[in-house]
Amino acid sequence: MSTPNHGPELHGLLAEFDSASQLVAAAHRTHAAGFRKVDAYSPFPIEELAEALGHHHSPVPLLVLGGGLAGAAAGIGLQYFVSVVAYPLNIGGKPLWSWPAFIPVAFETTILFAAFAAVFGMLIVNRLPQPHHPVFNAPRFALASRDRYFLCIEAEDPHFDRERTRQFLLSLSPTEVTEVAP
């Protein structure tokens, strides 16, 4: 593998396509060529695009599971501490550790912690909020919300070489290839 031929003044190369099918085919070929720091932009969701780019699994479900388990443990642990350790009350001869009475609160804390884990996990995984992204500097990128499709290979990709990557993108038959400044 050669050393990358790019400087800090380049975010990546952006290829523009006329149709969703061209974008998906280009994404398949880009992933097959070994590029991994790739992103695609389209005016509407394209179901096959995530698979074509190699995005198969998200860590968000595991984060939600962890949040839910932590919430259940926090709910039961707090009630146990209050009822058994800090302020034990013998009411009607019931045991201090009466776990069936703790289920409703544990359920609610499970849902609360899982919801927080889902929201904050999604924000972290998607690197949001990101009010400005370098691709916004591309002259025709505003068309990504109307009728054009874009594929960006980032300069951080280990296989990125300015000229070879440009030639590769041109071989995908885009409308044009643009350099994206940071």
Q: Which two tokens stand for residue 125?
A: 């995984």
CA pair distance 170, 177, nearest whole angstrom: 7
Q: So what's the pLDDT on residue 55?
A: 87
Q: Of 173, 175, 161, 171, give the one whose Cα is nearest residue 13.
A: 161
What pLDDT was estimated at residue 8? 59
List pLDDT tens digits, range 87-117.
999 888 889 998 999 999 999 999 999 999 9
pTM of the model: 0.76
Asked whether the CA dihedral 69, 74, 75, 80 is positive or negative, the reply is positive
Domain-wise residue ranges, the chain: 12-55+128-180, 60-124
* Residue 40, φ and ψ in degrees, nearest 5: -130, 150
- Please state, in angstroms and rounded to a whole number, the distance separating the CA atoms of residues 156 and 58: 21
d(CA 178, CA 168): 13
**Amino acid identity, residue 53?**
L
Task: Give the residues of the chain that fall short of pLDDT 50.
Answer: 1-2, 6-7
Instruction: Identify the pLDDT of residue 56.
Output: 84
Task: State how far the Cα of 160 lies from the Cα of 2, in Å rounded to an integer.
Answer: 9
What are the distances in angstroms from CA 62 to CA 30, 108, 114? 29, 19, 10
Give the separation between CA 159 and CA 146, rounded to whole angstroms. 31
Nearest residue to 23 (alpha-carbon basis) of 177, 160, 173, 165 = 173
* Rounded Cα distance, 21 and 26, in Å: 8
**Separation between Cα atoms, residue 154 and residue 14, nearest integer Å:** 9
